[in-house]
């Protein structure tokens, strides 16, 4: 099944790739690798804000991370000239969780992104990853995730 068909089956329509918020590019392609800048948690209603361990639950954080995954795939599609089927595999995710000093479930939060990648992409979505805490993130968002993709 194609990636586009699987996303449709999941009820997901990729948005236009979000524009960068500062002096950087949303992605860099070198050889067969596409490096995507950090995508912050946002949906159609705007930024998903909050601090894990204070104002958000792990489940809410994981949902925010899923929206990061959708933005990452939108950037992937843009970086592949509109042809997301050029994806070979997700290589690595690095997730940052806006959390209190004593919060220790960053991996469970970033699972929202990881699980969605595998659900949407199958084995192409399996990846290495890091999940770390941050004292704060831009605009007060709950999660930011960047990615490295291998493409054809």
Domain map (residue ranges) of the chain = 3-151
- At residue 18, the pLDDT reads 82
- At residue 19, the pLDDT reads 86
pTM of the full structure: 0.97
Smallest CA-to-CA distance from 14 within 99, 121, 112, 111 is with 121
Rounded to whole angstroms, what are the CA distances from 111 to 50, 66, 137, 142? 17, 8, 18, 14
- At residue 20, the pLDDT reads 87
- At residue 30, the pLDDT reads 98
- At residue 40, the pLDDT reads 97
Rounded to whole angstroms, what are the CA distances from 132 to 31, 37, 39, 107, 123? 28, 16, 15, 8, 24
Neighbours of 94 (CB within 10 A): 16
Tell me: domain 3-151, CATH 2.30.30.30, correct?
A: no
pLDDT < 70: residue spans in the chain: none
């Amino acid at each position: 099944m194609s990636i586009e068909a699987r996303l449709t089956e999941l009820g997901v329509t990729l948005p236009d790739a979000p524009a960068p918020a500062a002096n950087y590019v949303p992605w860099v392609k070198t050889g067969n690798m596409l490096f995507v800048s950090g995508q912050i948690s946002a949906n159609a209603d705007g930024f998903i804000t909050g601090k894990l361990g204070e104002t958000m639950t792990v489940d809410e954080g994981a949902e925010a991370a899923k929206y990061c995954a959708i933005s990452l795939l939108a950037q992937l599609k843009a970086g592949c000239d509109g042809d997301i089927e050029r994806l070979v595999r997700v290589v690595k995710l690095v997730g940052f969780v806006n959390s209190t000093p004593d919060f220790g479930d960053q991996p469970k939060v970033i699972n929202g992104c990881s699980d969605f990648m595998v659900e949407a992409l199958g084995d192409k979505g399996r990846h290495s990853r890091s999940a770390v805490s941050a004292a704060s993130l831009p605009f007060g968002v709950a999660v930011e995730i960047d990615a490295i993709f291998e493409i054809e």
